[in-house]
A and B are shown apart, each in its own frame.
Chain A
Amino acid sequence: MTAEISDAEIEKHLASLIGPVGEPVTALVEFGAVRRMALAIGDLDPIHFDEAAARARGYRGIVAPWPLLWLYFFTCTEYEHDFPFGRATVHGQDEYEFHEPMIVGDRITVTTAITGARLKHGRVGRLGQVVSERRFVNQDGALCAVLKTTLFRR
């Protein structure tokens, strides 16, 4: 089946993916989740555990390690895409931009969109490339981070 679909049909399908994905979702930055993440990555900077230490460094409160973005990625956003071609979907690359730190007690709203989707022809045949962008904004409207994830379909 997959061998019969034309490049034009694939391009049409990929173009249809571009746009918002689902509704924005809001999640609370919990102390337990922050502590667990800091321990999981072995980042023992006290700003991730100790409010006084974090405030002494100028932060509003206990600072979430940036990888906590992935918790909201997995619990707040859709990540499955069906492709009418190819056999495997591979997580190809990620790009981060960091702004306002996420602080325990913050409410982070995650907005997801597919911002790019195109078909390329590589050495081993067709390669679909889909870029999704997640913007993480806190309760005050401050942009905390942007995470761009590229999936390859081949």
Chain B
Amino acid sequence: MGAIFEDVEIGQEIPRLVKGPITTAHIVRWSAAMENWHRIHFDWHYATQHDGLPDVLVNGSWKQHVMIQLVTDWAGETGWAWKIAFRFRGMNLPGETLTAWGRVTGKEERGRFGVVDLEIGLRNEQGAEGTPGTARVVLPRRGGPPVPYPFDPAVLAG
């Protein structure tokens, strides 16, 4: 179903999500799905010769999605992944396997619901953190109502 506010502990890790090895086919499929035709994602000569990159790059938005999936999976059907933010700190290349992870950094009761803050990230096999970020998730309280759909932040006031 999804996480319950009272069960969440600060410092707790949420279940990880592993993707990869990422191939150029994954990158092109993603680029096509969102119609991003920037050549650094599919044209090896352009990426390496013109932009001086080591290879074509895994899309930043794809990396963000993996972390959105991580957080929405954890929030489950009764919670709501409300806010997510990321910084692009490192590039990722074909062949890498990426692990999305998250850790609870704070929790607060808000009305009939609970708000949980997490730090999140996406590491490659070498442990390099390329996309650090934060997330804020609204969870139901034990015995309380599910987070309303569609989510309106005003429910946190009552």
Contacts and interface: CB of A to CB of B under 8 A. Distances in A.
A86 to B, nearest CB: 16
Contacts of B125: none
B77 A57 contact: yes
A41 interface: yes
Interface residues on A, range: 20 to 34
B88 A93 contact: yes
A52 interface: no
Given A58-B149, A67-B65, A74 B85 contact: no
A94 B86 contact: yes
Interface residues on B, range: 20 to 34
A70 B66 CA distance: 14
A99 B85 contact: no
A70 B34 CA distance: 6
A98 B87 contact: no
A99 B62 CA distance: 20
Nearest to A73: B34
Interface string A54-92: 000111000001111011011100000000000000111
Interface in B48-62: 60-62
Interface in B1-33: 19, 26, 29-30, 32-33
A92 B88 contact: yes
Prevailing SS type, chain A contact patch = mixed
A65 B65 contact: yes
B142 interface: no
B33 A33 contact: yes
A20 B88 CA distance: 25
A7 interface: no
Given A67-B68, A71-B34, A98 B82 contact: yes
A23 interface: no
A16 to B, nearest CB: 26
Interface in B99-146: none
B88 A66 contact: no
A93 B86 contact: yes
A39 B32 CA distance: 11
16 contacts: A37-B34, A39-B33, A40-B33, A41-B62, A70-B36, A71-B33, A75-B35, A91-B88, A92-B88, A95-B84, A96-B68, A97-B82, A98-B81, A98-B84, A100-B151, A101-B149
Given A58-B149, A65-B65, 16 more contacts: A39-B29, A41-B66, A41-B69, A67-B33, A67-B65, A70-B34, A71-B35, A92-B88, A94-B60, A95-B85, A95-B86, A96-B84, A96-B85, A97-B83, A99-B150, A100-B150
